[in-house]
């Protein structure tokens, strides 16, 4: 069965600092991987996705993620965070041909001014 682990429940970084959010997945075949962001009181918005090809994928809002098969990881990064990036971030995995996603527990990001 698929599973996703986000080891960090809460991360605090200073505005302008770099960011990396960790995501580890478990799935027997080639995974389809996603990062979503949720602002307070809002639904989820897709940041980026990986299906195949280049293991470094670019998303919206200046985010990128790198797929590392050997480590079963799909970490999200941003070179310089802005106060508006404060939100909760969810990693998700979908199986080939599946119509459903399995989500991690989420990482809450706080930005210090």
Partner 1 sequence: NAGVTQTPKFQVLKTGQSMTLQCAQDMNHEYMSWYRQDPGMGLRLIHYSVGAGITDQGEVPNGYNVSRSTTEDFPLRLLSAAPSQTSVYFCASSSQGLYGYTFGSGTRLTVV
Residue 36 or 81: which CB sits closer to partner 1?
Answer: 36
> What's CA 47's distance to the chain center, in Å?
8
* 9/113 with CB nearer partner 1: 9
- Sorted by sequence, the CB contacts under 8 Å of residue 11 that are 6+ apart come out as 19, 21, 107, 108, 109, 110
Give me the residue label for tokens 């200073």. Answer: 14
- CB nearer to partner 1: pick between 58 and 105: 105
Q: Which of 63, 81, 94, 111 binds partner 1 (CB under 8 A)?
A: 94
The tally of CA atoms less than 13 A away on the side-chain side of residue 74 is 31
The answer to whether 60 contacts partner 1 (rule: CB under 8 A) is: no
Q: Does 25 bind partner 1 (CB under 8 A)?
A: no
Q: How far is CA 5 from CA 14, 15, 62, 67, 106, in A?
A: 24, 26, 23, 15, 9
Q: Give the shortest CB-67-to-partner 1 separation in angstroms.
A: 15
In 3D space, the residue among 113, 42, 107 whose CA is nearest the CA of residue 75 turns out to be: 107
Nearer to partner 1, 97 or 113 (CB): 97
Q: Taking CB under 8 A as the rule, does residue 104 contact partner 1?
A: yes
Residues that bind partner 1 (CB under 8 A): 4, 6, 9, 32, 34, 36, 41-46, 49, 51, 90, 94, 96-106
């Amino acid at each position: 069965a698929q599973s996703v682990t986000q080891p960090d429940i809460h991360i605090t970084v200073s505005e302008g600092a770099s960011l990396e959010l960790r995501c580890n997945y478990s799935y027997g075949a080639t995974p389809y991987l996603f990062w979503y962001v949720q602002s307070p009181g809002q639904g989820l918005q897709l940041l980026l996705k990986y299906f195949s090809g280049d293991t470094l994928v670019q998303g919206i809002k200046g985010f990128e993620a790198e797929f590392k098969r050997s480590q079963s990881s799909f970490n999200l990064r941003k070179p310089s965070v802005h106060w508006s990036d404060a939100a909760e971030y969810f990693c998700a995995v979908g199986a080939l041909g599946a119509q459903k996603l399995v989500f991690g527990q989420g990482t809450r990001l706080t930005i210090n001014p």
